[in-house]
């Protein structure tokens, strides 16, 4: 049972345009959502997060939107840069168990 899903395994975007990465979840008890960036053979790097009591959080070029009624979150990267090319994981945390459940990742390729 995949509680956190990233249905797009890959995404290609032109440099300077917007990248939108999507994530869906099933457990309404999740209270915190995070996005990580990962390069091959390295540990994931934290990008941005959002609490379940908010619907938007912004940090520089990165914005995360949360739609609780749809159990959906998205990460917007504007403008996209070639250095943003990596695999992006969304994650959700369960406050009752302190578990963090990750999606399967979306590989973003930003074309110069």
Partner 1 sequence: SQTIHQWPATLVQPVGSPLSLECTVEGTSNPNLYWYRQAAGRGLQLLFYSVGIGQISSEVPQNLSASRPQDRQFILSSKKLLLSDSGFYLCASGASGYTGELFFGEGSRLTVL
Name the site residues for partner 1 (rule: CB under 8 A).
6, 31-32, 34, 36, 41-46, 49, 89, 91, 93-95, 97-105
Q: Which residues pair with 49 in a beta bridge?
A: 34
For 14, the token pair is: 């032109």
Q: Which is nearer to partner 1, 14 or 45 (CB)?
A: 45
Which tokens is 36 given? 């990580």
CB-nearer residue toward partner 1: 22 or 79? 22
Q: How many residues does the chain have?
A: 112
Q: Could you tell me the two tokens for 87? A: 């695999």
C-beta of 63: minimal distance to partner 1 in Å? 17
Nearer to partner 1, 32 or 62 (CB): 32
- Least Å from the CB of residue 46 to partner 1: 5
Closest to partner 1 by CB, 32 vs 79, is 32
C-beta of residue 74 within 8 angstroms of C-beta of residue 23: yes
Tokens representing 83 are: 């250095």
């Amino acid at each position: 049972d995949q509680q956190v899903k990233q249905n797009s395994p890959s995404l290609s975007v032109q440099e300077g345009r917007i990248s939108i990465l999507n994530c869906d979840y099933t457990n309404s008890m999740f209270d915190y959502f995070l996005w990580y960036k990962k390069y091959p053979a390295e540990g994931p790097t934290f990008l941005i997060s959002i609490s379940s009591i908010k619907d938007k959080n912004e940090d520089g070029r990165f914005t995360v939107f949360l739609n609780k009624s749809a159990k959906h979150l998205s990460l917007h990267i504007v403008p996209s840069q070639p250095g943003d090319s990596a695999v992006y994981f969304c994650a959700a945390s369960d406050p009752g168990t302190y578990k963090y459940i990750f999606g399967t990742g979306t590989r973003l390729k930003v074309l110069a």
